[in-house]
């Protein structure tokens, strides 16, 4: 009898211990995806996208992921290949997803979470904006300037719609945070660094999150952005660019000087004598981890032969950039002007990342949007 009682008490203690861990569940079915691998990824703030679980789907496409909550809202993604479903978890909840592999990213259904439902709505809105922009861009009945003005108007209308219908009076909502960081072609739609209206909305979200989730990493991230943006919009703040005509002619490039992680000015032309990969990028962009690994491979292979990387970041959050580039071996600098940097205009950078290959004489040799097939070009210049 005593043995049975002890066994019962031990079982009860173990059961209570298990219940102390708050968990969330993401489950559902993805049809047409038999024998494919479904990943559950954590969209972290400081470490990028991290795969935290995976499952090889069977014929019925059923899946179930159960993980511990972290005490504040976090963002996740279900991914098969290049298709993904963005999700947010606020608490101990069960989110159910139904989708077909043919239109997984946009045609899915979500149950059990109004937050995830609104994020789905935002994804559909953004996809529609991209289609409208594509139609305008391809319409040759308008001049380039007219098309540019029409596209900017579409973006303004989209932002107004999101502000009024999604964010307003729901500043503390997880989907309001998500909306503030939507991107279009590598460009943040809300750019508080140079737009006072965008800054006002993000500041409202930051204040609301500080009330609901004081001290959490994402709240601090919002306040870092607000602080940097307010500093950026101070009229007395200027960045002096060296674009002297004679020096451009002598070097074959437009020279630039930006501070590194220690605040030390780093000048591009000081690398003359090396083959340089000039990289305009933002660490907050999706896929940055993969690109960084590609750059590491290039650096490790060619650095001893005279190859260097000069990486210009336009991340909106300087603290985030500092965390991501702290241990990188090449030259990493920070451009506070962000997307409105004169350097982006002078180098005619239309999307991020964009790479330029510069030879040992500081002459611009090649421009590209990816690092594929770059090895032959580097070896030819070395």
Quick: pLDDT tens for 188-229. 889 888 788 888 889 889 988 988 999 899 999 998 888 888
pLDDT score recorded for residue 263: 86
Task: Indicate if 209 and 309 belong to the same structural domain.
Answer: no
| 223 and 273 together in one domain | no
Q: What is the pLDDT of residue 3?
A: 46
Q: Is residue 62 situated within a structural domain?
A: yes
The per-residue pLDDT for range 31-61, each reduced to its tens digit, is 999 999 999 999 998 788 899 999 999 999 9
In the numeric block, the tokens 């059923």 are attached to: 62
Which of 197, 232, 267 is the endpoint of a domain? 232
Residues of the chain under the 50 pLDDT cut: 1-19, 235-251
Evaluate whether residue 207 is within a structural domain.
yes
Would you state the pLDDT for residue 238? 35
What is the structure's pLDDT at 4? 47
Could you tell me if residue 4 is inside a domain? Answer: no
Contacts 24+ apart (CB under 8 A), 192-197: 192/225, 192/226, 192/229, 192/316, 193/228, 193/229, 193/232, 193/233, 193/316, 193/336, 193/337, 193/338, 193/339, 193/340, 194/232, 194/233, 194/337, 194/338, 194/339, 194/340, 196/233
Determine the Cα–Cα distance for residues 186 and 183; give it in Å rounded to an integer: 6
Give dist(CA 46, CA 43) in Å, integer: 9
pLDDT at 363: 85
Q: N- to C-terminal Cα distance for the chain? A: 82
Residue range(s) defining the domain that contains residue 160: 123-232
Using the 3D structure, point to which of 188, 206, 232 is the last residue of a domain.
Answer: 232
Do 331 and 252 sit in the same domain of this protein?
Answer: yes
Task: Count CB-CB contacts under 10 A for residue 52.
Answer: 12
Looking at residue 20, what is its pLDDT? 52
The verdict on 292 and 332 lying in the same domain is yes
Same domain, residue pair 140 and 263: no
Q: Is the residue at 300 inside a domain?
A: yes
Q: Are residues 165 and 194 in the same domain?
A: yes
294 with 350, same domain: the answer is yes
pLDDT at 91 (0 to 100) = 82
The residues that bridge with 39 in the sheet, in sequence order, are 54, 79
State the total domains in the chain. Answer: 3
Note whether 59 and 32 are within 8 A (CB). Answer: no
Structural contact between residues 122 and 180, judged by C-beta atoms closer than 8 angstroms: no
pTM: 0.58
360 shares a domain with 256: yes
- Say how far apart CA 161 and CA 183 lie, in whole Å: 16
CA-based nearest residue to 69, from 93, 85, 48, 104? 93
What local confidence, expressed as pLDDT, does residue 252 receive? 58
CATH at 55:
2.60.40.180
């Amino acid at each position: 009898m005593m043995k049975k009682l002890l066994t019962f008490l031990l079982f009860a203690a173990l059961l209570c211990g298990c219940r102390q861990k708050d968990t969330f569940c993401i489950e559902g079915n993805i049809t047409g995806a038999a024998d494919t691998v479904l990943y559950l990824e954590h969209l972290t703030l400081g470490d990028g996208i991290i795969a935290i679980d995976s499952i090889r789907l069977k014929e019925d496409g059923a899946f179930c992921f159960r993980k511990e909550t972290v005490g504040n809202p976090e963002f996740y993604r279900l991914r098969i290949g290049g298709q993904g479903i963005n999700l947010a978890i606020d608490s101990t909840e069960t989110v159910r997803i139904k989708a077909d592999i043919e239109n997984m990213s946009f045609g899915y259904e979500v149950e059990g979470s109004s937050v995830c439902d609104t994020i789905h709505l935002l994804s559909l809105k953004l996809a529609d904006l991209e289609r409208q922009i594509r139609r305008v861009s391809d319409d040759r009945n308008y001049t380039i300037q007219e098309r540019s003005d029409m596209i900017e108007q579409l973006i303004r209308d989209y932002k107004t719609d999101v502000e009024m219908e999604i964010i307003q009076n729901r500043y503390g909502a997880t989907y309001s945070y998500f909306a503030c960081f939507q991107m279009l072609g590598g460009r943040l739609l809300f750019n508080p660094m140079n737009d006072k209206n965008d800054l006002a909305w993000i500041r409202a979200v930051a204040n609301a999150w500080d009330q609901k989730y004081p001290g959490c990493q994402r709240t601090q991230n919002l306040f870092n952005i607000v602080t940097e943006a307010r500093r950026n919009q101070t009229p007395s703040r200027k960045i002096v660019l060296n674009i002297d005509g004679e020096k451009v002619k002598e070097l074959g490039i437009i020279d630039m000087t930006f501070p590194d992680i220690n605040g030390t000015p780093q000048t591009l032309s000081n690398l003359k004598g090396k083959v340089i990969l000039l990289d305009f990028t933002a660490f907050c962009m999706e896929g940055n981890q993969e690109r960084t690994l590609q750059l590491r491979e290039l650096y490790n292979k060619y650095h001893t032969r005279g190859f260097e990387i000069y990486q210009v970041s336009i991340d909106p959050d300087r603290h985030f950039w500092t965390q991501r580039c702290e241990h990188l071996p090449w030259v990493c600098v920070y451009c506070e002007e962000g997307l409105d940097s004169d350097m982006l205009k002078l180098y005619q950078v239309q999307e991020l990342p964009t790479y330029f290959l510069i030879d040992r004489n500081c002459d611009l040799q090649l421009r590209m949007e990816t690092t594929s097939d770059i090895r032959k070009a580097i070896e030819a210049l070395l």
